[in-house]
Structure 1
Amino acid sequence: MMRFQRPLSYALLAAPLVLAACSSSSDDKFPNNLEIRLQDAPGDFQAVVLDVQQIELHQKEEGNPDGWQLLPFQAQPINVLDYVNGRSALLVSTDFDPGTLKEIRLLLGPDSYIIGRDGQRYDLKTPSGQSSGIKLKLSKENLHQLSGTYQLLLDFDVAKSITERGNWKPGNDKKERYLLKPVIRVVAQNIKGGMRGTVAPAVARPQVLAIRSSITPADTFSTSADVAGAYQLGALPSGTYRVEFFPSASAPANQPSYKHVVRTGITVTNDQVTDLGTTSLQ
């Protein structure tokens, strides 16, 4: 995807997980409230379940092992495919000091797995996530406008995060079929532009790329249309975009082929969602 990134809708809908309660500060030392949310885009699996055990913040200079602070989070399995097209899971809500927020770290347990299109369960091996954790850096741009309640969105990229072992064969139980190498983008939720639309026919299940051509180098975001043909991209910076649709399925023999379609001159403005209507892929 060049640098594929899949954001969410500007309007985040909280999901009914067993979530962390807000911590309190009796002396108001930390006037800011931090919310950490997780979202994904439709992927080619029935389920992708992450065994999330801990979430931590790093509050000192990079490389300082003493800077990690454990956040109030109840360990739980999370099916990231439950949080697509405008839905997100609220993982953490807590008081914090924005001046010291450097990194986020997710520690995964041994029970992450996927349910494939064949209905079978396959364990996901994540060596780094189960040992040193998955570290996500926050840029200065994420931090300079913090006030009141501030949201960070963990944008999980299923397509880039799950890879199939080249030596796996059907019926081979001794080798795991899939590896999890998480690719997660941290999005500051003061970026609230977005776009949405549908494709026809829905069975084409295209990958959707939004390429911000108004900057150099261009910035690319991606998602996939769901089974109803709907797609939604959010947390998009303002600008002019080229949107490309790449069908992932082939048309039946008695129908016209599905086409790669390009739409240009799509404008995204902060605090607004641009509706592209229906795009025909035939």
Structure 2
Amino acid sequence: MKKSLKNFSLKSLLLLAVVAVGMVSCSDDENNPESEGKANLRVSMTDAPGDYDAVFVEVVDVMIQTDAAVEGAEGEGEGAEEGWVSVGDVQTGVYDLLELTGGVSQVLADTEVPAGYVSQIRLVLGTDNYVVIDGEEEPLSTPSAQQSGLKLQLNQELEAGENYSFLLDFDVDKSVVTTGNGGKSLKPVIRLSAEADAGMIVGAVHPTEFRSLVTAKNATTTISAYTDANGEFALKGVPAGTYQVSVTPDVAAGLDVVFEDDVVVEENSTIDLETIFLE
């Protein structure tokens, strides 16, 4: 009888071990993005400088248009029929765009999405948008079309198990529009870039007692940022190409604009211009 019980216990332990291994295996599969057909998507927001004290925008969602959503959208509503789905886990809130310059960016989403072809990405805004001019707050009227989201062409195949990072670069000067009655309206102008494929231009400007505007420009692209308190700057999401970089000091400094010609940017690389001296 004891021998029988011993054999039974041994068989039971072996069975439990097999079940446990199977559960761990299933758990590993669930935590593996590739096994679920998932890709990791990171979306950040930055800003080109503008001539305001502050520009606040309310972010309520980030959405993508995917083939997978189109195929499974039947009966899920008008937005789903168009293939638009939220990326999920979006860092919603009201952000001051003018704090997102000089290389600073705000992560809006860092999440897993179904692998597949993504044609467009959309930033959805709320109504709590306003600009600060000379210390005075002024509301930014936001047309319903803008609240529903500005569509940006992505045209990217997201492969399972891979990481993708995209940057939404606001152009504040073009995004804030003066209306006929003298008010202000928000009509976002945003440049979308894939950070993995783009380069970056960094450096510093001397003297540092004042802020300077650093701009990289060629025939198709213009990217700019202010220097920080240490005189440093970073231009992110720069497409590969050859640029002229200009440094424009604050008018009160009484210094001349300095140009750096033929700055070559390659994919996924950082170009350090080191220290640029103003005279």
TM-score using structure 2 length: 0.71
8 Å contact from structure 1 (residues 43, 159) kept in 2: yes
Q: 1:31 to 1:227 in 2, by over 3 A?
A: closer
Going from structure 1 to structure 2, the CA distance change for 1:75 and 1:192 (only over 3 Å counts) comes to closer
Name the SS for the 2:102 alignment partner.
coil
CA contact (8 A) 2:33 2:161 kept: no
Among 109, 130, 137, which residue is 1:121 paired with? 137
Q: Compare CA radii of gyration and give the structure with the larger one.
A: 2
Summarize deviations over 1:86-140 as a string: whole Å, max 9, x none: 3322211222234231112222221111222x1111111120455532211213x
Q: Secondary structure at the match of 1:138?
A: strand
C-alpha offsets along residues 250-269 of structure 1, whole Å, 9 cap, x if unaligned? 55xxxxx4323322132334
Q: Is the 8 A contact 2:166 2:195 kept in 1?
A: yes
Contact 2:129 2:139 in 1 (8 A): yes
260, 263, 266: which one pairs with 2:260?
263
- Please tell me whether the aligned partners of residues 102 and 226 of structure 2 are also in contact (alpha carbons under 8 angstroms): no
1:244 — aligned with what?
246
Distance 2:31 2:121 in 1: 20
**In the alignment, which residue of structure 2 is the partner of 1:11?**
none
After TM superposition, give the deviation of residue 192 of structure 1 in Å: 4.2
Unaligned 5+ segments in structure 1 are 1-22, 169-175, 213-217, 252-256
Q: Which residue identity does 2:232 align to in structure 1?
A: A
Residue 13 of structure 1 corresponds to none
Higher relative contact order (CA 8 A, sep 6+): 1
Q: 3-state DSSP class of the match of 2:221?
A: strand
Asked if residue 162 in structure 1 is aligned to residue 176 in structure 2, the reply is: yes
- The one-character-per-residue Cα deviations of 1:28-64 (angstroms, maximum 9, x if unpaired) are 4323111111112343323221111222211247x99
Kindly indicate whether the alpha-carbon contact (under 8 Å) linking 1:102 and 1:138 is maintained by their aligned counterparts in 2.
Answer: yes
Q: Counterpart of 2:162?
A: 148
Taking the TM superposition and a 5 Å limit, the aligned residue runs for 1:69-80 are 69-72=85-88, 73=90, 75-80=92-97
1:108 is aligned, of 113, 119, 125, to 125
User: Whole-Å Cα distance in 2 between the matches of residues 130 and 243 of structure 1?
Assistant: 32
Q: How far off its partner does 1:191 sit?
A: 2.1
Within 2, Cα distance between the matches of 1:207 and 1:164? Answer: 23
2:220 is matched with 219
Kept in 2: contact 1:50–1:77 (CA 8 A): yes
TM-aligned CA distance change 1:164 to 1:200, over 3 Å: farther
1:219 aligns to what SS in structure 2? coil
| Structure 2 residue corresponding to 1:273, chosen from 250, 270, 274 | 270
User: Does 2:64 match 1:47?
Assistant: no
Q: 1:126 to 1:241 in 2, by over 3 A?
A: same
Cα distance change of structure 1 residues 74 and 266 upon mapping to structure 2, 3 Å threshold: closer
**Which amino acid letter does the alignment assign opposite residue 226 of structure 1?**
T
AA at the equivalent of 1:155: D
State the distance in 1 between where 2:152 and 2:214 align: 25
Contact kept? 2:103, 2:225, Cα under 8 Å: no
Counterpart CA distance in 2 for 1:30 and 1:105 is 22
RMSD, aligned CA:
3.2
Looking at secondary structure, tell me which structure has more strand per residue: 2
Matches of residues 188-199 of structure 1 in structure 2 within 5 Å? 188-199=194-205
1:33 to 22, 40, 43: 40
Cα distance change on mapping 1:145 and 1:239 into 2, 3 Å: farther
Q: C-alpha separation between the residues in 2 aligned to 1:85 and 1:26?
A: 34
1:240 is displaced (CA, Å) by 3.1
Q: Return the offset for 1:187.
A: 0.9
> TM-score with structure 1 length normalisation?
0.71
Deviation (angstroms), 1:75: 3.5
Larger helix fraction of residues: 2
Over the matched positions of the two proteins, sequence identity in percent amounts to 34
**Which moves more between the two structures, 125-134 or 179-188?**
125-134
Structure 2 residue aligned with 1:97: 114
In the alignment, the residues of structure 2 paired with residue 261 and residue 234 of structure 1 have an alpha-carbon distance, to the nearest angstrom, of 20
Give the distance between the partners of 2:251 and 2:115, measured in 1 at CA.
Answer: 45
The residue identity in structure 1 corresponding to 2:51 is: D
The one of 233, 236, 242 equivalent to 2:235 is: 233
Aligned to 1:92, the other structure's residue is in SS state: strand
> CA-to-partner distance for each residue in 1:168-210, whole Å, 9 max, x for gaps?
3xxxxxxx3x221101111112124211223345577444332
Query: Where does 1:173-212 land on structure 2 (aligned, <5 Å)?
Result: 176=183, 178-202=184-208, 205-212=211-218
